[in-house]
Amino acid sequence: MSLIGGIYSIENSAVPLAIDLSSGGSADGTKVQGWGKWLFSNPNCLAQLWLVTPTGATDAFTLQNLRGGLYLDLPNGSSANGNPLQGWQRVGNNQVWIIRQTGTFYKMQNLQGGSTCSLHSVLIALRAPETRVIVLPAFVNLLDGSSSNGTAVEGWAGEWNDTANQSQLWSFQPMSRTSAEVDNALIANPVLQGHFVNYQMNGIYWVLDKDLVKNIWAGANLGEGKKYTLRPELFDQDDFTLCALFFHECIRLSITNSSSAFKAQLAQWGSDNILANGLNLLLGVMLGVSTEEGSGGQSCNFFLDSDFSTVLFFDAQTGNLLDPGDITTQVTVGFF
């Protein structure tokens, strides 16, 4: 099965190390290493999340780190065994990777560092070395299959059909959804009832961990006893909800929307922590009219849970998730 574009956490098949851009650095030449997987509620996970983008050629992709904005790079396109991978700004084919499924895992071969070569062709070349030049492809390899943090991730010769060398086998855990996939999940939700607008028709949405959303909210100084407290007419529930659209202020993420205190602060979080381009961060707004007589309107934010199908509703005043059964609102509009 072919890989599709999106945001992924990439982990070795044999040891619990993810492909990590050291400290999420943004300087050319930053080390790419194997590192224990961060919880997705921890902002450090950004150094282990990669935006995988098709180039247009069959099975060919670039991998851009979310935190540092650098691309997975084979230095000088050299296929020499042990060539340590690095992060580098986008320059050429040494940052293009052929990614194909091998059994239940994937292998990654650099486009610049060699061409596909079968064992049969190698044997033929060995019989007639004067007429053949063997160029073995460089695959993404975890040095010695080590489980130690900081283990080098390097280029090393390999074969597509070799499933014994687990140092070159990787799992891709999806962390994003397309606009169409988000739409389908929201349409199926009985609270939203299809009353929403999607402004990014062909977008890739990072589905944030719910605890990461809560952690970011906790630093936003919003809620009872905080800088921004619910005050009828002056700063009401709709304002809390609109403020929570922090992600949509990030110019680098190609999203714009209305400005307010919480939104701006959370937008700053996105701007400070994500240097990759071409992705959206999923957080929507639901506005509605209460179905209970004498009650005002109700609004909240919504996003998807880690199963990518369950819609979560978030109260930007309290920082708590809402029980859908407690939402006594007839939705007038939702947007993300």
| 193: CATH | 3.30.460.70
Residue 1 within any structural domain of the chain: no
Assess whether 155 and 14 both reside in one domain: yes
How far apart are alpha carbons 168 and 97 in whole angstroms? 13
How far apart are alpha carbons 4 and 7 in whole angstroms? 10
pLDDT-based confidence at 267, cuts 50/70/90?
low
Q: 282, 182 in Cβ contact below 8 A?
A: yes
pLDDT-based confidence at 114, cuts 50/70/90?
low
Assess whether 55 and 94 both reside in one domain: yes
How far apart are alpha carbons 105 and 147 in whole angstroms? 18
Check pLDDT > 60 for residue 294: no
pLDDT-based confidence at 40, cuts 50/70/90?
very high
Which pLDDT score is estimated for 264?
58
Check pLDDT > 60 for residue 37: yes
pTM of the model: 0.85
Domain boundary residue among 141, 159, 174? 174
> What are the tokens at 257?
């929307």
pLDDT-based confidence at 271, cuts 50/70/90?
confident
Residue 193 within any structural domain of the chain: yes
pLDDT-based confidence at 200, cuts 50/70/90?
confident
Residues 6+ apart with CB under 8 A from 22: 30, 31, 32, 33, 47
Check pLDDT > 70 for residue 266: no
pLDDT-based confidence at 223, cuts 50/70/90?
low
How far apart are alpha carbons 89 and 157 in whole angstroms? 25
The residue with tokens 């492809």 is: 137
> What are the tokens at 44?
């450090």
pLDDT-based confidence at 318, cuts 50/70/90?
confident
Which pLDDT score is estimated for 141?
99
Which pLDDT score is estimated for 257?
28
Domain enclosing residue 151, as ranges: 6-174
Assess whether 184 and 152 both reside in one domain: no
Which pLDDT score is estimated for 263?
55
Torsion 88-93-96-101 (CA) sign:
negative
Domain boundary residue among 140, 157, 174? 174
Assess whether 152 and 299 both reside in one domain: no
Question: Residue 135 burial by CB count (10 A; 0-12/13-18/19+): exposed, middle or buried?
Answer: middle
Give the total number of structural domains in the chain.
2
The residue with tokens 């390097």 is: 154
Check pLDDT > 60 for residue 166: yes
The helix/strand count (H/E) of the chain reads as: 5, 21
Looking from the CA of 148 toward its CB, the CA atoms found within 13 Å total 6
Average pLDDT over residues 111-132: 53
Residues 6+ apart with CB under 8 A from 304: 177, 182, 185, 207, 282, 310, 311, 312
Which pLDDT score is estimated for 113?
67
For 50-103, how does the pLDDT look when each residue is reduced to its tens digit (9 = 90+)? 999 999 999 999 999 999 999 999 999 999 999 999 999 999 999 999 999 999
Q: Which of 15-29, 33-47, 207-221, 222-236 has the lowest mean pLDDT?
A: 222-236
Which pLDDT score is estimated for 297?
61
Alpha helices in the chain (DSSP H): 119-127, 179-187, 210-218, 237-243, 261-273
Assess whether 19 and 160 both reside in one domain: yes
Side chain identity, residue 136: L
Q: Which residue has the higher pLDDT, 332 or 211?
A: 211
Looking from the CA of 78 toward its CB, the CA atoms found within 13 Å total 10
Domain CATH for 34: 2.80.10.50
How many CB atoms sit inside 10 A of residue 200's CB?
18
Assess whether 180 and 160 both reside in one domain: no
Assess whether 41 and 185 both reside in one domain: no
